[in-house]
Every structure is written in C-alpha cells, then in structure tokens.
Amino acid sequence: MNKTWWKEAVAYQIYPKSFYDSNNDGIGDIKGITMKLPYLSDLGVDVLWICPFYKSPMKDNGYDVADYYSIDPMFGTMEDMDELLEKSKEYNIKVLVDLVLNHSSSEHEWFQEAISDPNSPYRDYYIFKNSENEQIPTNWRSNFGGSVWEKAEDNNYYMHAFDKSQPDLNWENPKLRQEIYHMINYWLDKGISGFRIDAITFIKKNQTYPCLPSDWEDGLAGLQTVSLNQKGIGTFLKELKEKTYGRMDAMTVAEAPGVPYEQLEEYIGDDGYFSMIFDFSYADIDLNADGNWHSHKEWSIKDLKEAIFNSQLSIKKVGWGALYLENHDQPRSIDKYFKDKDCNKKELSFYLGSVLATMYFLLRGTPFIYQGEEIGMRNCPFSSIEEYDDVATKDQFERAICTGIKPEEALKIVYGRSRDNSRTPMQWSDEKNAGFTHGEPWLKVNPNYKETNVKNQINSENSLYKYYKKLIQLRKSSVYKDVIIYGDIKPILKDYDNIIAYTRELNGSAIIVITNFSGEEYKIPMEYKECIISNYINFDNHEFNKEIILRPYEAVVLAK
Ligand code: GLC
Ligand code: CA
C-alpha cells in the first residue's frame, strides 16, 4: 500500500454561504472561513473542501458558475481568497476547491453568446438539439425533475441535467475541454492542493440521444441510463487528469454516482482518474435507484451495514475511498440513520452522534466531516415552502403538487430529504442567529441552536465536538495511527443485525470497532487487550476481557 498525504488527511467540508459571516450581511463568506481557521485547526482537520464560491446567480447556490475565474462578491474578493490560502498554510491546512464541470450557469458569457447567436462558436460549447412539431428532442428527465430540454428559439432546445439555469457543457467539443483545463490549471497554480469534482459522471451523453420507455406518470424517464457513466467517458477523464492535476500530487475526490464496483479500478486504481470517489450506496440507503423524491425505500441497519461493507470490500481491492456521513446534499445524519423515536430524545443525542461518528471514522479511507456534523446539528423544521431556498426542494414540491398531492402532504415529503436541512447556518454559540451573523441570515437558523452550538460543546466535558476531536487525534497522532489509516478491514459480528463492527489490522497490530445502532443491550463474547475509546464514560472491563456488554448506542474501540 503506497503511503500518500491525502490518505492520512482528515477533511472538513465547508458550505461557505452558511459557515461564518464576517461582515454581517447575513451571508457566510471567505473572510469568515479565514477567521475560523483556529477553530478548524484546533479540531484537528488538515484539508478543507470549500463548496463553490465563484461568480454565480446562485440559482443552485454556486453550482451554477457564471465565471470560473472570479469570486462572487457575496463571498468576497480574490484577495480574500489569496489571504485564506496564505493563512491556511500557517495552520498546515490544505485547501480543495469545488469544480463544476458538467454545466455552467446560463449567465456564463459562453452561454449568453450561444443563446443569443445560433452561429456563435460558443453554440457548440453546449448541447443544442433541433426538434420538429413542438416536441422535446428526447423524453429524459432532469435530476431536479421535469424535462432536460429547455426551449432556446424556434425548434431548438438546450440540455440541462440539473436545473434549467445549469446548461450542460458539451464535452465532445475539444475547444471547450481546453478552456476547462486552462481554468483548472489556473487554480492549481494559485496553490490549492486539489479538487472535489462535481457530478463528473454526467459529462458524457449517449450520442444517439434515444427516447426511453417512460418510468413515471409525467411520460419522462430518468436520464441515468443515457447520461451517467456512459461508454467513452474514460477518454475524457483520462485527458482531464493528464492536462491538469495529473502533473502533481493533488488530492481529487469525485462525485461519481453510477460507477459499478466492477469498474472502480478505472476510477480509483493505481492509474485511476481520481484519488478517491464518493460512494452513494449507503448515503442513499433510503432512496430507490432513481433517486426520486416520491420513491422512499424501507431499509434496516442490517441493509446499511451490508451496503457499507460491500463498498469497503470492493474499494479495498483496487484503491482508496472517501468516508462521509453528511454533505450539503444530504439530510443530517442523526435524522437519516435513526428512524425511531429515540432520535428525538435529547438525552440520547450525544450517543447517536458518537455511535455514527465511530462507525464511519475508522473505516478504511479518508474521512470527511461536514460542517456542523461535529456538534450533531439536526434537520431543520421549515413551516412553509417559502422558507426553503433549495432549487431541488422547490422543483420537487411543485412536481408533487402537479400530481395532485396536497401542499401539507408535499411539504412532509420534501422535509426529510430537503437539502436545506444541512444548509442552515453553522451554530457557533447561543447568541442571536447562533453567532453566525449579526445581520439577517440568508436561511433560517435551526431553532435548536441554544442547546446545540460550538461554544457549549467546547466548554462541556463530554460533548460530540470533544468526541470528534478524540477520534481525529486517534487517527492522526496515536500509536494506532498506521493501523487506522493503512490497516486491512474485515467485518465481524455479522449475525448481530443492529451492530456494525469490524477489525482493522496491520503488521500484527489490530483494533476492533463495535457500534450498537439500537436501544438494546448486548452481551458479546470478545477477546481484547484494552479499551481505546468508548462513548460511555465508564467502559466496563468485564469477565477478564473475554466478553463485553454493549449498552444502548454504545460505541467502543478495542485493542486486540
Ligand atoms: C452536485 C452538487 C449539488 C448540485 C449538483 C449540480 O450533486 O453536490 O449540490 O446541485 O451537483 O451541480
Ligand atoms: Ca458576509
């Protein structure tokens, strides 16, 4: 196993709009991130992934880029960015930026040229199709709902895999590809250490543009089969790497849905396109394959555990993984992974957060912490659709209404999965607006901020924040560092449906991780030397280290 810096890193994801507002206009900004470097450094993370901050009309909060070379004024200036890069070096923190390469904003000057002049050379930077009789060119459904086609003029339409304000770029055009590589090199030359690469498996489309058998009442069909990880995408991804980050020791983590495990080697093998990819198999355990709002799935902890180990065992054969519980597209993890009434008991919240943290943090891969996860931030109750901001939530709400669902019911459906659950402002303290801003926050602050906030947790002896800090130290600077980072992984205790457990082993050193995802107590035969970490204060040393009693939502890490 080759050692590299990014395998040893602990990453922290920042959604800049909601992290910290330095100038009290209600919007988080780059200076806000710089001001919080001491916090991040103290927590122990050493890589930041910063979500898009480029110039944008913010239809999809920056995932609609209008100029890849400039900073949106709401986030600050290029000087602020340079300052952040400078200061983060002082803290030994590396910075990854987000690359949105599948589409631009409809306000990008390329698209403005393309749409205003059909003969412009920029027309071919996008995907325009002609169609007869007022018919859309194909019946593909976009990721956010509705057709992927939007009318340009006459019988011409342009394609968008996401919102209509996010026209897809035409990767078949070599000129467009050169422009993209130039831009990526610009950011590398600025001194960033790598990238999170957005929705990258969408860049190749089935070139025959077939119509598909409809899969729902709207007559459309999900675009996954014709626009996700299509044959030939490898040529683009190989070139992308060669012309940009392939020339240095960068960390690249790709959002790459639709890659089957058999094909992982191409993506993350020794010569793979990326350092690692995000696997959605367990983050989306509650959704059906089409990812649609209306098709929630029943699942159990047993299913979750199978999905996790399936992923781990497939990845370890060929390469490296990215570990995560949350991101800016996912609900908060305590709300997602604990479905019964226990998840609303305040006295349990520390245990729920720490059992999840222990379970994922010590798997094989680079852990990512999403802002607020380390203090157990929760889904936010929104009382009307107007309170939401997220374009996907609004699209889905409208679709629900169109199919005859009543507004209250539709609100319930979007609530659990709305991306705004994880986008509410970071809860720094119990002051007004959770200490995020003295202005009017751009999105509702979760009303639970008086109890759940960074300040409380730093000051309390036994908080989730402190527990995350311990886990980070264990992974970065304890005697178990090597086994946690580079050790082999094997699932154990497979017959206990509510327990997720595994061993990590390297050169004779071994640890055992056991996490109880239920409110029941278990007595488990287990030989071990000592307890390394537990989320209960008094871990019981029973029966001469031959058995453990695992209490409700208990997590233990043992030395073997
Ligand atoms: C990715 C991003 C998401 C965005 C979408 C379109 O899935 O994580 O936030 O809406 O791509 O860019
Ligand atoms: Ca601001």
Q: What is the pLDDT of residues 306-335, one digit of tens each?
A: 999 999 999 999 999 999 999 999 999 999
Task: Check: pTM over 0.95? Answer yes or no.
Answer: yes
Which pLDDT belongs to residue 336? 94
SS3 for 227? helix
Ligand 1 test: best mutation among 198, 224, 390, 419, most atoms within 8 Å of CB?
Answer: 198
Does any ligand 1 atom lie closer than 6 A to the CB of residue 284? Answer: no
Write out pLDDT tens, residues 192-205: 999 999 999 999 99
- For 498, the token pair is 């509510």
Which pLDDT belongs to residue 287? 87
Question: Which residues have CB under 8 Å from 88's CB, separation 6+?
Answer: 34, 37, 48, 94, 95
CA 353 / ligand 2 centre spacing (Å)? 30
CA 504 / ligand 1 centre spacing (Å)? 33
Does any ligand 1 atom lie closer than 6 A to the CB of residue 51? Answer: no
Give the least confident one: 374-378, 398-402, 501-505.
398-402
Nearest ligand, measured from the Cα of 19: 2
CA 464 / ligand 2 centre spacing (Å)? 28
> Going by CA atoms, what residue is nearest to atom 4 of ligand 1?
63
CA 396 / ligand 2 centre spacing (Å)? 29
Does any ligand 1 atom lie closer than 6 A to the CB of residue 329? Answer: yes
**Is 83 in the active site?**
no
Q: Please give the DSSP secondary-structure letter assigned to residue 121.
A: G
Ligand 1 test: best mutation among 329, 417, 420, most atoms within 8 Å of CB?
Answer: 329
CA 80 / ligand 1 centre spacing (Å)? 25
> Going by CA atoms, what residue is nearest to atom 7 of ligand 1?
199
Please tell me the distance from the alpha carbon of residue 364 to that of residue 45, in angstroms, as a whole number: 17
Which pLDDT belongs to residue 382? 93
**Is 255 in the active site?**
yes
Does any ligand 1 atom lie closer than 6 A to the CB of residue 100? Answer: yes
> Going by CA atoms, what residue is nearest to atom 12 of ligand 1?
63
Nearest ligand, measured from the Cα of 438: 2
Give residue 174's pLDDT band: very low, low, confident or very high (50, 70, 90): very high
369 φ, ψ (degrees, to nearest 5): -110, 130
CA 62 / ligand 1 centre spacing (Å)? 9
Ligand 1 test: best mutation among 13, 49, 162, most atoms within 8 Å of CB?
Answer: 162
| Mean predicted confidence (pLDDT) in 432-460 | 98
Among 334, 323, 270, 339, smallest CA distance to 489 is for 323
Nearest ligand, measured from the Cα of 440: 2
Ligand 1 test: best mutation among 53, 60, 227, most atoms within 8 Å of CB?
Answer: 60
Which pLDDT belongs to residue 296? 75
SS3 for 340? coil
Which pLDDT belongs to residue 134? 82
| Mean predicted confidence (pLDDT) in 157-163 | 97
Does any ligand 1 atom lie closer than 6 A to the CB of residue 255? Answer: yes
- Would you say residue 541 has pLDDT above 70? no
Q: Are residues 203 and 238 in contact, defined by beta-carbon separation less than 8 angstroms?
A: no
Exposure of 423 in the CB half-sphere (CA atoms within 13 A): 24
Which pLDDT belongs to residue 216? 84
215 vs 39, higher pLDDT: 39
Nearest ligand, measured from the Cα of 74: 2
Does any ligand 1 atom lie closer than 6 A to the CB of residue 420? Answer: no
Q: Are residues 54 and 41 in contact, defined by beta-carbon separation less than 8 angstroms?
A: no
Cβ neighbours of 546 (radius 10 Å):
10
Does any ligand 1 atom lie closer than 6 A to the CB of residue 274? Answer: no
- Would you say residue 543 has pLDDT above 70? no
> Going by CA atoms, what residue is nearest to atom 2 of ligand 1?
198
Question: Which residues have CB under 8 Å from 253's CB, separation 6+?
Answer: 11, 49, 96, 194, 195, 196, 197, 274, 275, 276, 277, 278, 322, 366, 368
CA 375 / ligand 2 centre spacing (Å)? 23
Give residue 402's pLDDT band: very low, low, confident or very high (50, 70, 90): confident
Q: Which atom of ligand 1 is nearest to the CA of 328?
A: 9
Which pLDDT belongs to residue 236? 98
Please tell me the distance from the alpha carbon of residue 404 to that of residue 333, in angstroms, as a whole number: 31
Among 198, 145, 195, 146, smallest CA distance to 169 is for 198
CA 31 / ligand 2 centre spacing (Å)? 8
- Would you say residue 1 has pLDDT above 90? no
Write out pLDDT tens, residues 249-289: 999 999 999 999 999 999 999 999 999 999 999 999 998 76
DSSP string, 478-531: STTHHHHHH-EEEEE-TT-TTEEEEEEEETTEEEEEEEE-SSS-EEEE---SEE
Q: Which atom of ligand 1 is nearest to the CA of 103?
A: 12
Please tell me the distance from the alpha carbon of residue 139 to that of residue 220, in angstroms, as a whole number: 5
Please tell me the distance from the alpha carbon of residue 51 to that of residue 181, in angstroms, as a whole number: 19
Give residue 294's pLDDT band: very low, low, confident or very high (50, 70, 90): low
- Would you say residue 14 has pLDDT above 60? yes
Which pLDDT belongs to residue 256? 95
Q: Which atom of ligand 1 is nearest to the CA of 60?
A: 10
Give residue 292's pLDDT band: very low, low, confident or very high (50, 70, 90): low
Write out pLDDT tens, residues 80-130: 999 999 999 999 999 999 999 999 999 999 999 999 999 999 999 999 999
DSSP string, 356-389: HHHHHHTSSSEEEEETTGGGT------SSGGG--
- Would you say residue 290 has pLDDT above 80? no
- Would you say residue 293 has pLDDT above 60? no
Mean pLDDT score across all residues of the chain: 95
SS3 for 11? strand
CA 96 / ligand 1 centre spacing (Å)? 16
Which pLDDT belongs to residue 350? 96
Q: Are residues 58 and 95 in contact, defined by beta-carbon separation less than 8 angstroms?
A: no
Does any ligand 1 atom lie closer than 6 A to the CB of residue 266? Answer: no
| Mean predicted confidence (pLDDT) in 498-526 | 96
Residue ranges of alpha helices (H) inside 58-211 are 78-90, 109-116, 174-189
Q: Which of 60, 64, 198, 420 is catalytic?
A: 198
Give the least confident one: 244-248, 344-348, 470-474.
344-348
For 9, 46, 93, 324, the CA distances from 12, given in Å and listed in that order, are 10, 8, 10, 10
Cβ neighbours of 505 (radius 10 Å):
15
Q: Which of 255, 284, 286, 326 is catalytic?
A: 255
